[in-house]
Structure 1
Amino acid sequence: MSSIKVPDHLPSPAEDCEQLRKAFQGWGTNEDLIISILAHRNAAQRSLIRNNYAETYGEDLLKELEKELSSDFERIVLLWTLEPADRDAFMVNEATKRLTSNNLVLVEVACTRKSIELFKVRQAYQVRFKRSLEEDVAYHTSGDIRKLLVPLITSLRYEGDEVSKTLAKSEAKILHEKIADKEFNHDEVIRILTTRSKAQLLATLNHYNNDYGNAINKCYQTAELRATMSNECACFQDLKDDPNDEYLKLLRTTIKSLTFPERHFAKILRLAINKLGTDEWALARVVASRAEIDMERIKEEYYRRNSVPLDRAIAKDTSGDYGKMLLELIGHGDA
């Protein structure tokens, strides 16, 4: 459910490159022209533009953009223009650095990308940083967090819809026993969360809810049920032994990201916009990475939980070219 509005009459990559070249020349950069082109091209089209620009002008479009733009606007344009796997590799690398460490980003990338996409991220990471992704994640984490993150980030899950009800029931029992005993870091808990397909895990969590009362996460099998569900009054109760424990927070994020990514991203956006001083990095990260995936569902979830349209919230909290780019990418209304 992409929010990107591609024009009915699409210029050729050569024409787009010519216009971008013009935007860079003269006394000042034409930011509006850059937005009008890049914000309305999908990933394949942006890749063609980058290749054509390099062939025509002998320069990397990304380096040109980096030279011409600045601040938050530069960040969102560069993130958006990167190939999806390169973007994820860059974000994961930022998340492993000491000053920008963010384990939630690692969980997010590991759990909301398809297996083939995650495999491409690991390939892109090796090409860009000359190290393996799992090597850096392992080096920059420790203890239970490392025990969870390394298998998550290297997971190649089955993507089909086949589900074993018997397995779901037995693994729901395992999860319940270990969590009831506060063995949150047990090998079996981590095995189930890091290896099972999303469909199988959803079935397991539904059994957990039905058989043991409290939901690890309220899960719904169909879009119709998800659209009409109430707020999560019992959600994550069994994993809230210590709300401030980072490992438990990562476990809850893992489950939410695997079973209901729209809810995860809507929450990240709400926190980014509502905190004292907007979290521009989180805002740019979510918009750039989800605009072509599930932004329409995220917008629906954001409105359901906050009673304010996402475009209006972004328009109120951002300004200038940065705000314009974000609004174009989410497919804004009349914000």
Structure 2
Amino acid sequence: MDPAERDAAFINEALKKETPDYKVIIEIACTRTSEEFLAAKRSYQFQYKHCLEEDVASKTIGDFRRLLVVVTSAYRYDGDEFDENLAHSEANILHQVIENKAFNNDEIIRILCTRSKKQLCSTFIAFRNMYGTTITKGLSTDHPNDEYMEALRTVIRCIKNPRRYLAKVLYYALNDLIAEEHALSRVIISRAEKDLNEINDLYFQRNGITLDSSVAKKTSGNYMNFLLALLGNN
């Protein structure tokens, strides 16, 4: 499989679960480039004869649906340019949303799901400088729609520091009683030719053990050898 076909398969697998795994969909939508995600959506439609956005809409409801449909349908600008004035303005909008607990406000979805990653990172920095806390902490509040709130935080984490987020995914996958092979395979295979060394470094900084050591402890046989080979241990 090429990367787009793999991502389409990962998304299909996540959607087919009894309770769809929305974090996988957000992870792929927000850690890939816009062109990579567009290729994955095209591959999804080719392989499964369905539009991804329509499948997401059919399996979700309410605010959660609104968020995921925009996440999967938006095409972000991938350039390095950003506007500091816009960052300050939208940091203020996000702060007002949080202060008013208007978490289903269209503006929060518009900003998080359509702005470029560089623009959003500038907005997150402005938010912290202006209000003395991170936006994810601002969104860590009791709310009746916990799934929606967690989805918002996941979007932010994937955009703000995708490598750190993926290192955390690997940590949880390897700290279940039985290793969560779907998550392990998804992250290690998809990042093997990109930034797996950097993710490994973050994993070690967080956990005091290398990723390959954790894989060797929690997996076995041909599957272990396959993952270790991708991690550079032949």
TM-score (norm. length: structure 1): 0.68
- Structure 2 equivalent of residue 12 of structure 1: none
Higher helix share: 2
CA contact (8 A) 1:90 1:125 kept: yes
Whether 1:163 and 2:64 are equivalent positions in the alignment is no
CA distance in 1 between counterparts of 2:19 and 2:217 reads 26
CA contact (8 A) 1:269 1:286 kept: yes
CA contact (8 A) 1:159 1:198 kept: yes
- Which residue of 225, 229, 233 corresponds with 1:324? 225
- Which residue of 36, 55, 71 corresponds with 1:136? 55
- Structure 2 equivalent of residue 39 of structure 1: none
Mapping for residues 257-268 of structure 1, pairs under 5 Å: 257-268=158-169
CA distance in 1 between counterparts of 2:101 and 2:201 reads 35
Considering Cα pairs closer than 8 Å and 6+ residues apart, tell me whether 1 or 2 has the greater RCO: 1
CA contact (8 A) 1:107 1:152 kept: yes
CA contact (8 A) 2:178 2:218 kept: no
Bigger Rg, which one:
1
- Structure 2 equivalent of residue 184 of structure 1: 103
Q: Which amino acid aligns with 2:142?
A: D
Whether 1:84 and 2:22 are equivalent positions in the alignment is no
Whether 1:242 and 2:161 are equivalent positions in the alignment is no
Alignment: residue pair count: 233
Mapping for residues 25-44 of structure 1, pairs under 5 Å: none
CA contact (8 A) 1:242 1:248 kept: no
Whether 1:296 and 2:197 are equivalent positions in the alignment is yes
Q: Which amino acid aligns with 2:214?
A: A
- Structure 1 equivalent of residue 213 of structure 2: 312
Mapping for residues 1-335 of structure 1, pairs under 5 Å: 82-99=1-18, 101-216=20-135, 236-242=136-142, 245-332=146-233
CA contact (8 A) 1:109 1:118 kept: yes
Question: What is the Cα deviation at residue 242 of structure 1?
Answer: 3.1
CA distance in 1 between counterparts of 2:199 and 2:134 reads 22
When structure 1 is superposed on structure 2, of 237-246 and 290-299 the one drifting more is 237-246
Q: Deviations over 1:87-109 (max 9, x none)?
A: 11111111112436200001001
Moved over 3 A (4+): none
CA contact (8 A) 2:79 2:118 kept: yes
CA distance in 2 between counterparts of 1:83 and 1:270 reads 26
Q: Deviations over 1:210-240 (max 9, x none)?
A: 0011111xxxxxxxxxxxxxxxxxxx21111
Q: Which amino acid aligns with 2:213?
A: R
When structure 1 is superposed on structure 2, of 158-167 and 94-103 the one drifting more is 94-103
Gaps of 5+ in 2: none
CA distance in 2 between counterparts of 1:242 and 1:288 reads 36
